Amino acid sequence: MTTDEEDRSGQASSILPLGARKQQHGGRRRLGAGTHPLHSPIPSAKGVQPPEPIPRALTFLRTPPTARSLGSLFPGSKFFGEQRSGHSSYHVTVDILTVDLDTSFLSGYLCIDGLTDDYPQLKTFFEAEIIGPKHSFLTRKWEANESTDREHWNLFPPFLGLDQSFNDDSFHYDPLSEDYVFMRWKEHFLVPNHRVQNVNGASYAGFYYICFHRSTSTIRGFYYHISSEKHQKLLLGHVPARSFSSFSQR
């Protein structure tokens, strides 16, 4: 997500340390296509159906990782941290719903606090492409070209050394055998009301470049949209099951 005001700034952002609790409100944030003239109406996700609501009684059920897994990135896992945009930071919670290694697919909810006045808490449903046999590092959509991909993937130190071969059709990355898992997260619609097409002051027209570190169970990401402030950063850490009680049920 990104704010309309941040889209107009065009300034690079600095990042607060993960776990910083103070939110600084210097603008509004980023979700559904707002009123900014550069924001086109949010296209509906083709072929994507809104997921059934998770019963509250099942909210904390988790599927433990198996030998063929991505560590703490599994259905039912939760991540918490912040997104830094310009001079503002926002608390972010991510709930993983599904992980399908056969199709290199993942889905979940992304909830961000304090982004807009109308929606103090914005939750979106997102789908992820896991870079590997099914999806390459080249995005080829969402207004991202090879130069865009190279710029954003190179923001992740683990990618250094791959930039000379990532656009080669014969290059293959195996996320199951590596300590770093690269993904693209694309938000599709608001939850629970997926029919809302516009949120004043925010946009989710772009997507996140994501790097998950299996050894530390941390996620770093950078949001991209052609009209948005560059390099808005996402920092998340895995929340152990015993810590779930400290989060309010949504």
Q: What is the pLDDT of residues 61-79, one digit of tens each?
A: 444 444 468 999 999 999 9
Residue 6 near residue 30 (C-beta atoms within 8 A): yes
For residue 5, the tally of other CB atoms under 10 A from its CB is 20
- 3-class secondary structure, 74: coil
- 3-class secondary structure, 84: strand
The residues, any chain, with a CB within 8 Å of residue 107's CB and separated by 6 or more, are 51, 96, 97, 98, 125, 126, 127, 128
Q: How far is CA 18 from CA 234, 237, 244, in A?
A: 9, 8, 18
For residue 9, the tally of other CB atoms under 10 A from its CB is 17
pLDDT in tens, 76-85: 999 999 999 8
- Looking at residue 127, its amino acid is E
Q: Shortest CA distance to 21 belongs to which of 82, 78, 95?
A: 82
Q: Class for domain 25-37+70-242, per CATH?
A: mainly beta
Residue 220 near residue 234 (C-beta atoms within 8 A): yes
Q: Shortest CA distance to 14 belongs to which of 168, 233, 212?
A: 233
pLDDT at 11: 42
Q: Shortest CA distance to 42 belongs to which of 30, 29, 33, 51?
A: 33
Range 140-144 contact pairs with CB under 8 angstroms and sequence separation of 24 or more: 142/186, 142/206, 142/207, 142/224, 142/225, 143/206, 143/225, 143/226, 144/207, 144/224
* Total residue count of the chain as it appears in this document: 250
- 3-class secondary structure, 162: coil
Residue 126 near residue 107 (C-beta atoms within 8 A): yes
pLDDT at 2: 66
pLDDT at 203: 76
d(CA 118, CA 115): 9
pLDDT band at 4 (very low <50, low <70, confident <90, very high): low
Q: How far is CA 7 from CA 128, 138, 145, 167, 233, in A?
A: 23, 24, 20, 29, 14
**Bridge partners for 123 per DSSP:** 111
pTM of the model: 0.72
Mean of pLDDT values over 220-243: 89
pLDDT in tens, 108-143: 999 999 888 788 889 999 999 999 989 999 999 999
